[in-house]
Homo-oligomer: A and B are copies of this chain.
Amino acid sequence: MSDSHFAEVSQEALLKIFTIPEAPDSTLGKIEKHLSENLMGFLGEHIVAREKPLHEIEQNFNASEIPEQPQYVSDHTEFLLNNLVAHSVHTSSPRFIGHMTSALPYFLLPLAKLMVGLNQNLVKIETSKAFTPLERNVLGMLHHLVYQQDAAFYQRWMHSAQHSLGAMCSGGTVANMTALWVARNLLLKPTTGFAGIASEGLAAGLLHYGYKRLTIMVSERGHYSLGKAADVLGIGRKNLIAVATDENNRIKIDALREACAAVQADGGQVLAIIGVAGTTETGHIDPLDKMADVASEVGAHFHVDAAWGGATLLSNNHRQLLHGIERADSVTIDAHKQMYVPMGAGMVLFRDPSMVRAIEHHAEYIIRHGSKDLGAHTMEGSRPGMAMLVYSALHVMGRRGYELLIDQSLAKAKDFARLIAAQDDFEVVTEPELCILTYRFVPARIKPLLAGLNAEQVRRITPHLNALTRFIQKRQRETGSSFVSRTKLTPAQYHREPTVVFRVVLANPLTTHEMLAEILQEQREIAEQAMSLRGALFTELRELGLVRER
């Protein structure tokens, strides 16, 4: 069968595309083989290194009408190769250390295809059958990873129709949103004279319970999805209160306690306190145990956003970094981050399996009362069987396999921090606690001066260093052989001056020490070319009397 299945639009041609696969020697057949045999080779060969400007790429995606006539699969595949794949991002390259999206273990690719081919819909058992208990099993295992209840607990709750140990979500955002939805509905629950917020709405709930407002407390390093959740849930972004952090980007417990007291004194109620484990920008972990104390004091739901850092629990050597997470009412973990599962596998876990009753819903034709349909307790409706990939990854790698990966990532981050610190012209801005760290380039003549600068000097110099960092990051990305990301922090050591930094995430097991050294060298070389930016910096330094001559 050639892939010219669709030479004309006919009934017969249509049936063919549902029954006859692409031939092995067709373009798509060859791609599939190449992917199966050598994914890294395929990506390395087909993703072009040098960046094409976005507006040029857009030219290929400008047609506003759906094409009338069918296209040969082979022609279409050629188009995708040249215009999409070629200009996609090599997320699995060991030199692309700027993302939380890393390489995937090979065995997950054929399994992903199997999952897609089965095309189950996890909203109900009728369209998922064994996938439903499998998903409940995955949630149970992750629940155990966090909460470590005994076997009897899981025996009782894991497959209970009226309960859920958590929910699979498309990602961490929906997971965080689901947790706060549950928290909100539990706080404004049904009681005499009030049918509950789910039925009567938020305004009625506040009125009934006599709360002037609800607030959500999180450190100023909290993920931006929490602002979205506050908006969506009707709480309001200004009621998401950003609490100050210490010099290690961890929430200040005193500041948290004070902020909660201020809310309560003003007639508000703290809906939730959110611990971050680890922050997206720096990978630091809040003092979860102490936060749990505060949550308990003020009667707030304690949620931990461990979308990125949660996988650390898989290492017995490092799980104590998240000490206190077991006191959380709910926890977000993304399997598509440090659990090496493809995009689209978020999870929220609930300490108490009956919490989800606060968001339970039913219909006549689906998720009927008493059914075990997963859809009764999820924000989303129809969903794919991503849980299978989490299940397989947990089994094929095992806890000890993950432990090795986690331990190795953390060691690599510490190693890279040492390497950076040892350079004349780079400095670490935030030390790694997990496998994320931030740093920046500073010309060798300036580095020794940095520790002694006063606030005014920092205020004047930082914008120049920021411009330099921005320039290097963009140029390196455009050059295409490696990628670090950037963000803006307010480091304590630099008088909280907004400081642009390189950010790296060292989760790819294929990244080597040598590659990291090369990435620094490339950045150094790019910095050399930034004549005017360096010139402006040194002019400023001269005006401040910090250096004499260029």
Instruction: Using A126-B99, A380-B174 as known contacts, say yes or no to A66 and B399 having CB atoms under 8 A apart.
Output: yes
A109/B113 in contact, CB under 8 A: yes
B404/A9 in contact, CB under 8 A: yes
Report A330-369 CB contacts with B as 1/0, cut-off 8 Å. Answer: 0000101000001110000000000000010111111100
A57/B334 in contact, CB under 8 A: no
Is the CB of A267 closer than 8 A to any CB of chain B?
no
Report A117-161 CB contacts with B as 1/0, cut-off 8 Å. Answer: 111110001111111111011001111110001010111001100
A203/B206 in contact, CB under 8 A: yes
B133/A85 in contact, CB under 8 A: no
Contacts of A32 in B (CB 8 A): 36, 110, 113-114
Segment with Cβ contacts to B, from A10-18, A252-260, A292-300: A10-18
Segment with Cβ contacts to B, from A67-75, A516-524, A525-533: A67-75
Contacts of A110 in B (CB 8 A): 22, 28-29, 31-32, 35, 113
A105/B17 in contact, CB under 8 A: yes
A382/B336 in contact, CB under 8 A: yes
Report A415-440 CB contacts with B as 1/0, cut-off 8 Å. Answer: 00000000000000000000000000
Q: How far is the CA of A394 from the CA of B67 in the complex (A)?
A: 7
Contacts of A449 in B (CB 8 A): none
Is the CB of A303 closer than 8 A to any CB of chain B?
no
Contacts of A224 in B (CB 8 A): 361-363, 366-367, 381
Can you show 16 pairs from A to B with CB atoms below 8 A apart?
Answer: A9-B400, A61-B130, A62-B137, A62-B158, A64-B149, A64-B153, A64-B155, A67-B399, A87-B129, A87-B130, A99-B126, A112-B113, A195-B238, A202-B203, A344-B384, A365-B488
Report A97-118 CB contacts with B as 1/0, cut-off 8 Å. Answer: 0111101111111111110111
Is the CB of A263 closer than 8 A to any CB of chain B?
no
Looking at A62, A227, A404, A488, the one whose CB has the most chain B CB atoms below 10 A away is A62
Q: How far is the CA of A144 from the CA of B66 in the complex (A)?
A: 8
Please tell me which one of the listed residues B35, B120, B181 contacts residue A343 in the complex, with CB atoms under 8 A apart.
Answer: B120
Q: How far is the CB of A543 from chain B (nearest CB, A)?
A: 29
10 nearest CB pairs, A to B = A234-B234, A201-B236, A64-B154, A202-B234, A365-B487, A87-B130, A173-B381, A61-B137, A224-B363, A70-B398
Is the CB of A37 closer than 8 A to any CB of chain B?
yes
Q: How far is the CA of A128 from the CA of B2 in the complex (A)?
A: 32
Contacts of A116 in B (CB 8 A): 104, 108-109, 112-113, 116, 342
B17/A106 in contact, CB under 8 A: yes
Please tell me which one of the listed residues B20, B88, B130, B488 contacts residue A118 in the complex, with CB atoms under 8 A apart.
Answer: B88
B503/A365 in contact, CB under 8 A: yes
A118/B382 in contact, CB under 8 A: no
Q: How far is the CB of A33 from chain B (nearest CB, A)?
A: 9
Q: How far is the CA of A233 from the CA of B230 in the complex (A)?
A: 10
Contacts of A118 in B (CB 8 A): 43, 85, 88, 91
B365/A107 in contact, CB under 8 A: no
Q: How far is the CA of A349 from the CA of B38 in the complex (A)?
A: 38
